A = this chain, B = another copy of it.
Amino acid sequence: MIEVLRLGHRPFRDKRISTHVALVARAFGAFKLYYSGHKDDILEKNILKVVDNFGGEFKIEYIKDYLGFIENKKKKGFLVVHLTMYGLEIDKEIGKLRDDNVLLIVGGEKVPKEIYDLADFNISVGNQPHSEVAALAIFLDRFFSRKELTKEFNNFKVKVLPCEKGKKTIKG
């Protein structure tokens, strides 16, 4: 089971990026998104609306004390992986990261030093500046060996079917 923690959410500036982080977490096989920073009811509502429409059991939860939260997850046996452009190369490390329970941390604007120290692994998806959304997608895609991308979500109201031109959907 992979859960994702998104640090430092700011409702005004980060709404769309955090929405993308949450939707990528869901689509690529994570179980739940936790987020710290500022609580954002609209973000939560938007994500739950997607879950309601497209199915599955994905959850979202605000965490105030993220350091305590991470320490607690470690005590429960979670492997803590922090995605950062400064970390070790994903393709050299991924074999060591396949644990039963993983907490995957993606940063916001400024990540405090404690996160680097608390993490069992600091992992980079390339050492160039790009995007926490992309880093999360690539990590989950590698972690699940591409298998989650085509998984079925139960209890959907709408399902998209692959199509050569235009749009094809069915109702659940």
Contact = CB atoms under 8 A, between A and B. Distances in A.
Interface of A: 13-14, 16-17, 20, 23-24, 26-28, 50, 54, 85-91, 113, 116-117, 122, 124-131, 133-134, 136-138, 141, 146, 149-150, 153, 159-168
A139 to B, nearest CB: 10
Nearest to A153: B128
Give the number of copies in the complex. 2
Q: Across chains A and B, which 5 residue pairs bring their CB atoms closest together, nearest first? A: A134-B137, A20-B131, A27-B128, A127-B160, A27-B130
Nearest to A19: B131
Most chain B CB atoms below 10 A, which of A116, A131, A146: A131
A148 to B, nearest CB: 8
Contacts of A128: 23, 26-27, 54, 153, 160
A150 B162 contact: no
A42 to B, nearest CB: 14
Contacts of A54: 128-129
Contacts of A89: 150, 162
A130 B33 CA distance: 14
A124 to B, nearest CB: 6
A117 B149 contact: no
Given A23-B130, A122-B164, 18 more contacts: A16-B16, A17-B20, A20-B130, A20-B133, A24-B131, A26-B130, A27-B130, A54-B129, A86-B163, A86-B166, A89-B162, A90-B149, A117-B165, A128-B160, A131-B133, A133-B134, A138-B138, A141-B141
